[in-house]
Structure 1
Amino acid sequence: MREERIDWPNGAKMALSIVVNVEEGSEMTIARGDRGMEPVDELGIHIKSPIRNYGNESNYLYGIKAGAPRIVRLLKAYDIMASWTVAALSLENHPEIGAAIAEMGHEPVSHGYRWVHQFKMDEATERDFIRKAVTSIETTTGTRPYGWLSRYFHTDNTRRLLIEEGFDYHMDNYSGDIPFWDKETLRGKPIAIVPYQLDNNDMKMWTDPAMTPEHWLAYAKRNFDQVYREGEEGNAKMMSLGLHLRIIGRPGRIWALEEFFQHVRKHSDVWIATRHQIAKHLAVVDPA
């Protein structure tokens, strides 16, 4: 059986994609007209009533006030380029995050206008959702997004709408370790699929407190080492590492991210790239 592989720039053994999710300031709350509170809570507390969860909102705000500065500091210290999957409203509410993305020259990726589910949207509503996100993110970062990540689910229309709205790639795919083309959605104008990984995402430390930073770091390093080894054997691939301001940005967890970056920097021939760079590279080595 033939392994999947791709040739990276300058003979790199692997590509590493760091994804920083920004959802804080965009989560569900009746203060924004939602029917209830955000169900994702580190304490596992969720009440299905139309009341405001001030505690959880402050838990999210921690990511902006304390988590983001720690993550930005590490990205700068280790010269790590990242793709920031941002809910547009988050940057409207916290423009300092958009300013930091712009100052570092990193890539903004659309995580929707808000961090809400889009799978129930009809075509017109989803198109407006996508357009509002593009306009907003371009305003707050100075750069329009060329990639898209939904909140877990997308519709049968999503990829076609993304193509029509000028997007270059889509992240809602978990099927492999190299980018590829979707040539079926809109024949004659394909979109690149840059797969994401959920298994080493720091969200697991939020949804499952039994997963400690030590466990997360060990898993992430082993993932990295395996992908690097396969690249040395001639089967180069990519690795994605998903991060969240309110999760990895905690004092008891941020050390694990720094140790991962230290581990990465001990290896040569690693292409640390934005997802847009990866999508554009696919167009060079495998034109659609």
Structure 2
Amino acid sequence: MSEQTPPPWQWDEPTWRGHVDRVRAGRSLSPSTWPGGARVAVALSFDSDHETIPLRDAETLPGKLAQGEYGARVGVPRILRLLQRHQAPASFFVPAVSALLHEGEAASYVEHGHEVALHGWIHERNTQIPAEAERELTLRAADTLERLTGTRPVGIRTPSWDFSPHTLAITRELGLVYDSSLMADDEPYELLAGGEPTGVVEIPVEWIRDDAPYFMMERFGSLRPYTPPRGVLSIWKDEFDQAYAEGGLFQLTMHPHIIGHRSRMAVLSELLEHISARSDVWYATHAQIAEYVLDQAAGTAPQEKTP
């Protein structure tokens, strides 16, 4: 019988430091200016989970699956039309099973000028599966998305932002440019592994800038949407306005089966109208953000004056 792990209050310093230092925020990659003299960068993202969340949990009855199907059937077309109206490229993080279930959807993102990035195989929980399973599923997902879109993914968002002790090593093995699952800053930064720079860019997320906490509903549980859509609009406008004032990054995470409903699309539409009213906004994919900040940090991107 193995010795029981001591409780945290009994850990020695190397133990608690080891946990903290496994994956850590390194140097800031916040640039001094954005392309074209833009005051703010706007990185819109959509996690096209569709049916994979109930499938992951072995919930195979039609009700839950239909909720996910709404995202592909209704939400995605609405989102693509809105993005086209604003000429705003976005990043779509797509579980491979979602891409396989909805033929042509992932390829259509690329055709519309958007990015397709990794989001697991079946929206698995990385911290609840063995390291080798996480690695195999991630590699298989990357191969699948490349086959379906003709483009190899350069970024990853772990399903449910569930970043395991092994995720960073797998990310580096795949040669990915960026991750978008962690929350140590408002601005892009470099990830450290055991205190050592990795070259991997973090495009940080936050529950504040995610539609799911505000709008999710569980019929037989206590989960209910308590914030009206217009209340979420107010929060997101404030987030954008402050990013604009600071000359930083405004990153937003949404889901077609959540944001794609009529009253919520009205909110997203008004938010993009608010953003687009500014002439000095750079809409960019997460990949474009990561590549730009790396170039800036290396001194290979042209320097531009901040307006």
TM superposition score category, shorter chain reference: 0.7 to 0.9
Q: What is the DSSP-based 3-state SS (H/G/I as helix, E as strand, rest coil) of the residue aligned with 1:119?
A: helix
Greater shift in the superposed pair: 187-196 or 53-62: 187-196
Helix, strand or coil: the match of 1:216?
helix
The answer to whether residue 284 in structure 2 is matched with residue 285 in structure 1 is: no
* 8 Å CA contact retained: 1:25, 1:94: no
Give 1:141's aligned residue: 149
1:82–1:107 contact (8 Å) kept in structure 2: yes
The offset of 1:171, in angstroms, is: 1.1
* More moved, 183-192 vs 118-127: 183-192
1-structure distance, mates of 2:63, 2:153: 32
Contact 2:121 2:140 in 1 (8 A): yes
Report the RMSD for the aligned CA atoms in angstroms: 2.0
Asked if residue 160 in structure 1 is aligned to residue 169 in structure 2, the reply is yes
The superposition leaves residues 37-85 of structure 1 with CA deviations (integer Å, 9 ceiling, x where unpaired) of 2xxxxxxxxxxxxxx4321111111111111111111011111110001
- 1:224 is aligned to 240
In structure 2, runs of 5+ residues without a counterpart are: 1-27, 218-223, 300-307
Q: Identity of counterpart residues, as a percentage?
A: 28
Bigger Rg, structure 1 or 2: 2
Aligned equivalent of 1:26? 52
Per-residue deviation at 1:283? 1.2
1:83 corresponds to which residue?
Answer: 91
Per the TM alignment, residue 190 of structure 1 is displaced from its structure 2 partner at its CA by 2.4
Contact residue 159 and residue 185 of structure 1 kept, 8 A: no
**Could you say what secondary structure the match of 1:154 adopts?**
coil
Q: Which residue number corresponds to residue 205 of structure 1?
A: 215
One-letter amino acid of the counterpart of residue 18, structure 1: L
Whether the 8 Å contact between 2:157 and 2:181 is mirrored in structure 1 is yes
Which residue does the alignment assign to 1:47?
Answer: none
Call closer, same or farther: CA 1:214–1:158 in 2, change over 3 Å: same
Over residues 233-283 of structure 1, what are the superposed CA-to-partner deviations in whole Å (9 max), with x where a residue is unaligned? xxxx11111111111111222111111111111002111111111111121
- The TM-score with structure 1 as length reference comes to 0.85
Q: How many Å apart are 1:216 and its aligned residue?
A: 1.2
1:183–1:214: structure 2 CA closer, same or farther, 3 Å change rule? same
Contact 2:43 2:283 in 1 (8 A): yes
Q: Is the 8 A contact 1:28 1:116 kept in 2?
A: no
Q: Say whether the 8 Å CA contact 1:15–1:272 is kept in structure 2.
A: yes
Structure 1 counterpart of 2:7? none
Partner residue in 1 for 2:118: 110
Structure whose residues are more often helix by fraction: 2
The letter for the 1-side match of 2:137 is F
Q: How many residues align?
A: 263
